[in-house]
Amino acid sequence: MAKRETSRTVYSSELGRMCAHCGLPASRCQCRANPRGRSGGQRSSTLALSNPESDGFVRVGRSSRGRGGKTVTLVEGVQLSGTELRELARDLKRHCGTGGALKEDTIEIQGDQRDALVKTLEERGFRVKRKGG
> How confident is the model over 54-72, as pLDDT tens digits?
578 899 999 988 888 899 9
Residues 124/107, Cβ–Cβ less than 8 Å: no
Q: Shortest CA distance to 60 belongs to which of 76, 72, 45?
A: 76
Q: What is the DSSP letter of 55?
A: G
Of the two residues 29 and 78, the one the predictor is more confident about is 78
List 108's β-bridge partners, or say none: 74, 101
Question: Where in the chain are the domains?
Answer: 11-50, 52-130
The mean pLDDT value for 32-36 works out to: 50
Of the two residues 5 and 27, the one the predictor is more confident about is 27
Q: Which CATH code, of 3.40.1550.10, 2.40.420.20, 3.90.180.10, 3.30.780.10, is assigned to 52-130?
A: 3.30.780.10
| Continuous H helices in 38-107 | 45-50, 82-96
Q: What is the DSSP letter of 27?
A: G
The predicted structure's pLDDT at residue 25: 72
The mean pLDDT value for 96-101 works out to: 93
**Global pTM value:** 0.59
